[in-house]
Amino acid sequence: MGRHKMANKAGHRGFGRIRQLPSKRYQASYVGPDNQRHNAPETFRARIDAEGWLTAEHRLTEDPATWTPPAARLEAARAAAERQSLTFAEYAAQWVDGRMVRGRPLAARSRDYYRSLLRDHINPTFGDVSLDRITPEAVNTWYATLAPGHATTRGNAYSLFRSIMLTATSVHGPLVGHVNPAAVRGGGSVHRETRTKVATSAELAIIVETMRPDRRLAVLLACWCQLRFGELAELRRADVDVDKAVIHVRRSVARSTEAGVHVKTPKSEAGSRDVSIPSHVVPVVREHLSTYAPKRNDLLFPGADGQHLAPSTFYGRPDVYDDAGNLTRRGHGWYRARQAAGREDLRFHDLRHTGAVLAAQAGATLAELMERLGHSTSAAALRYQHAAENRQQVIADRLAALAEAGEW
């Protein structure tokens, strides 16, 4: 009767075995290529159903190299079904929690930012959609109306979405073998609609003069030493070598919903650096240290409680005037200082940009800019070099004006 013999009275077959249980249901099993007996993952109401299962399993055992036990196949199928039924929001939350960069978990502020992009710009469209249901057409439609008028947010939101879907469709994701549906050409690129206008020496002088005396140095160090606010807020007396005119940048303070206020080390080796202080700033540094931070562990710019200075405290608020031009509320801090200089568009971080452009104009090479700014890649430093090159026309125009006025 060939390889598939009919079962005898005891329930034995040419391949496999079927037996009736006390429940009157039928159990099927067989000895596989691994010489182990394997039961069907379920029992059967009718004997013919058990025979059908054995027939299908027999075909699979004809190629021992590709055969896997039925229990393992069932588990793999269940896992695949569970993975593919994940919604984007569920998977994205797991992705953010487990994301590693250069072998280190995401910084708390980065996680906060990613979660805000998901909450405000991605999950409203894809949050409840199963990963395997997200199509290129849906992505293109979403991108067309994503964060209108906010190029940076648009580029960052798309880049995050693309990265999450790339992981989902890679060898470690739940959609292995699928094509990443995020395929908008140039979708993650950010083209700045306006260029930052650096502060002039006159504007910087007004800002410094308007600031509280104990915070004037923070403005100078942001510009002339290109320090970030978080680095300034954690800077301590021991980090400053006045005799050698060097600031040792080793830590910064950050704030996040998850971790609160916390001190952290730079995210790359380049961020830990020594920055030379220009000679015209050294006397201001020396006076500030003796007046406001005499002890080794003193913060250079503490908050009112002696702890780390909060951005909101430093930024303060601008003066407020009524329609007749009368002062109705006195401002303070950075916002009032920049207002006094006529630069309400100037962000505090733009002082770092200003200093970087000035360093490039002073002849700093790309490598020197990267070292001074604490950058691990050249992209940002190149922007400052380009900005310095763009100043050539300004210089030429001033030279022409001098010639026309005969002032040479």
Spell out the domain ranges in the chain.
17-81, 85-168, 201-394
pLDDT in tens, 372-384: 888 767 766 676 6
Report whether pLDDT(20) > 70: yes
**3-class SS of residue 34:** coil
Structure-token pair, residue 296 = 């080794």
| Long-range contact set of residues 375-383: C-beta below 8 Å, sequence gap at least 24 | 375/270, 376/268, 376/269, 376/270, 376/271, 381/356
For residue 172, indicate whether it is catalytic.
no
What's the confidence (pLDDT) of residue 81? 64
Q: What are phi and psi of 280, to 5 degrees?
A: -75, -10
Report whether pLDDT(6) > 50: no
Give the whole-angstrom CA distance, residue 169 versus residue 183.
Answer: 13
Structure-token pair, residue 124 = 């409203």
For residue 384, indicate whether it is catalytic.
yes
Give the whole-angstrom CA distance, residue 288 versus residue 64.
Answer: 79
What's the confidence (pLDDT) of residue 195? 63
What's the confidence (pLDDT) of residue 303? 94
- 60 class by beta-carbon count within 10 Å (0-12 exposed, 13-18 middle, 19+ buried): middle
Query: Which CATH architecture does the domain made up of 201-394 adopt?
Result: Orthogonal Bundle (1.10)
121, 162, 343, 375: which is the annotated catalytic residue? Answer: 375
228, 237, 255, 332: which is the annotated catalytic residue? Answer: 228
For residue 30, indicate whether it is catalytic.
no
Structure-token pair, residue 58 = 């027999």
Residues contacting 334, CB < 8 A, separation 6+: 207, 211, 219, 314, 315, 316, 348
Report whether pLDDT(248) > 80: yes
Which one, of 248, 380, 45, lies nearest residue 18 by Cα?
45
The answer to whether 51 and 18 are in contact (CB under 8 A) is: yes
Report whether pLDDT(86) > 70: yes
pLDDT in tens, 151-184: 999 999 999 999 999 999 887 788 877 889 999 9
Give the whole-angstrom CA distance, residue 118 versus residue 90.
Answer: 11
Report whether pLDDT(321) > 90: yes
Residues contacting 343, CB < 8 A, separation 6+: 199, 203, 207
Question: Cα dist. 92→109, 118, 133, 312 in Å?
Answer: 17, 8, 15, 31
pLDDT band at residue 9 using 50, 70 and 90 as cut-offs: very low
Question: Cα dist. 352→31, 121, 192, 220 in Å?
Answer: 73, 30, 18, 10
Residues facing residue 264 across a β-bridge: 252
In this prediction, residues 103-123 reach a mean pLDDT of 92
Give the pTM.
0.64
Structure-token pair, residue 344 = 């309400």
pLDDT band at residue 74 using 50, 70 and 90 as cut-offs: confident
The average confidence (pLDDT) of the chain is 87
111, 121, 154, 352: which is the annotated catalytic residue? Answer: 352
pLDDT over 70 for what percent of the chain?
86
